[in-house]
Amino acid sequence: MISDKISDKISDKISDKISDNIPVQNQHLPSDRCFSPPDRSRVQDKNTAELSEFWSRAFLGGLERSNLSPNEKQLKKQALETFQKLGLPDKGLESWIYTNPIHQLFSVQAIFNLEEKHPIGPLALPFEGSESIFIIQDGRVVKNKLPASITLEKFQNITRPEFYTNGLSVIHDLNPQSENHQLTWSNSEPNPSFLVLNQTMLSERVIADVALTLNFKQNTDNTVFVYVNSKDLGPGLDWLRLEINVESNARAQIVFVKDQINRQFHYHQLVSRVKRDGHLHLFCFSPGGSGCRTEIETKLLETNASFKLSGLTTLANLTHLDTHVEVHHMVPHTESQQLYKAVVSGEAHGIYSGKVIIAPGAKGSNAEQVAKGLLLSKKSQFHTRPQLEVYNEDVKCGHGAAVGQLNPEEAFYLESRGITPVRAKEILLKAFIEEVILTIANPKLRNLVSTIVAHHTGNLAQFIQEKINHDKDNSVEDTL
């Protein structure tokens, strides 16, 4: 347990101004790694380095108190050595220039709850009566109601260096009680499967981590709804890694919804691999939080593999979301599409960095990416960074990005038909959002996601009204 004196000392140091470091140059991704490799030679921010060292001592103390075997402890110590080398991320990493997690992490005690887990409480979930539901709480399976065509396996935790991009990515492998669960779909199911993750019952200021692998076997067609929700118990770290493997001629749609806004720092990694003639459609929605970082990495490993990303976020007040995407076309004749939209209001900040990498020899590849941001207030921000790394001439690649406000001409057209100004802008906002939601093929899930998104966009009405009042004031000033 961290002493209050040390915690206060760290808090005081981190509250000081954090120095800016020169961004590190991006490096080409080798074929055997996930995400861009870290720059181990960079000089870390002083406050971040001190916090990294402080966490290292806390992790080592928890490891020594655990009941792991000598071999398991050795693996954990290897992960700890990697954590010490990489350290916690800061703005010295180019992919983190818009997000500095230290403001949320300085109060996290860097410990895992080693006590017995409490059973999950009643859940008011709209899909509770589903025939297929799987719930993980604090890294443990607490409810399992799956059809026979979906198998669950638990395998021993092993270090995964290919996922290590910074100290946060090593967290799960440091946990003395970490577990890995694997779900495999062996037959096509007409009804979606529901996965509920991270309904945490832990005390505040600790780490809740979940690692889960989803396997879709050959010649299957399945839809999975992944619902991430946790109680706001104060500052903490919500860590999640979701691995998705799509075998040959399999089709999978993952509907990933983060449905909480709280004071934890949320760090999610969604990693997928698609084989020959396989297709993966990943839908992601998040309302952000006090600090959020989502990393999506997809590798198209064999010919005719395809990937589609449909991303949506609605940010309000002081929320923050940094989405970082990498799609790797490893072989010829693969295809990928990215569509990402953000509605940002208040003083919220959204970031979307989408990178497509066409490997040498991957001729005939087709890649498209589009990112659009809709700003509803003066102080809202949305940064978009579409990137292409093409190492082959015989490809078709395109990207586009646009950030702006609601189109006044379209609003005027609706108002000229007798629609009120507020209602006109609400219609335009809904049309902007629905383009992404309509990519969900399953009607039940589409309606469910629409309800969740509507809940998070409800407080945007005030910003629409404020914008209308502001436009009227400007019109009067121009007339005078």
The b/e string for 159-171 (b: 16+ C-beta within 10 A; e otherwise) is bbeebbbbbbbbb
Distance CA 417, CA 413 (A): 7
| Nearest partner of 351 among 307, 397, 286, 405, judged by Cα | 286
Res 45: pLDDT? 74
Query: Does position 51 have pLDDT exceeding 80, yes or no?
Result: yes
Domains of the chain by residue range: 4-117+127-475
* 282 in Cβ contact with 310 (< 8 Å): yes
pLDDT at residue 477 is higher than 90: no
Give which of 209, 195, 225, 56 is closest to 134, Cα–Cα.
195
Mean pLDDT of the chain: 82
**What pLDDT, on the 0 to 100 scale, is given for residue 25?**
29
Distance CA 256, CA 254 (A): 6
Express each pLDDT in 405-447 by its tens digit.
888 888 888 888 888 888 888 888 889 999 999 999 999 899 9
Of 305, 312, 242, the residue nearest 271 (C-alpha): 242
Angle at 209 between CA 151 and CA 263, to 5 degrees: 135
- Looking at residue 459, the DSSP 8-state letter turns out to be G
**What is the side-by-side strand order in the sheet with 306-315?**
140-145, 133-137, 193-197, 221-228, 251-258, 279-286, 306-315, 335-344, 366-375, 396-404
Contact 208, 171 (CB under 8 A): no
pLDDT tens for 174-213 read 888 888 999 999 999 888 999 999 766 555 667 888 999 9
Structure confidence at residue 28 (pLDDT): 33
Strands (E), 146-229: 150-155, 180-185, 193-197, 207-216, 221-228
- Helix pair angle (421-437, 408-415), 10° resolution: 120
Does the structure show a pLDDT above 90 at 262?
no
Is the Cα dihedral 184, 190, 192, 193 positive or negative? negative
Residue 460: DSSP 8-state:
G
Output the CA–CA distances (angstroms, integers) from residue 386 to 90, 281, 285, 292, 371, in the order listed.
21, 20, 19, 20, 8
Pairing of strands 349-358, 237-246: unpaired
- Separation of CA 366 from chain center: 25
In tens, the pLDDT along 71-116 reads 888 888 999 999 999 889 988 888 899 998 887 787 777 767 545 4
Q: What is the mean pLDDT of residues 294-309?
A: 98
Least confident range from 42-56, 84-98, 197-211, 288-302: namely 197-211
Q: Give the pLDDT mean for 156-169.
A: 81
pTM of the model: 0.86
Q: Which of 174-183, 276-285, 464-473 has the lowest mean pLDDT?
A: 464-473
Eight-state DSSP code of residue 224: E
The distance of Cα 55 from the centroid of its chain, to the nearest Å, equals 23
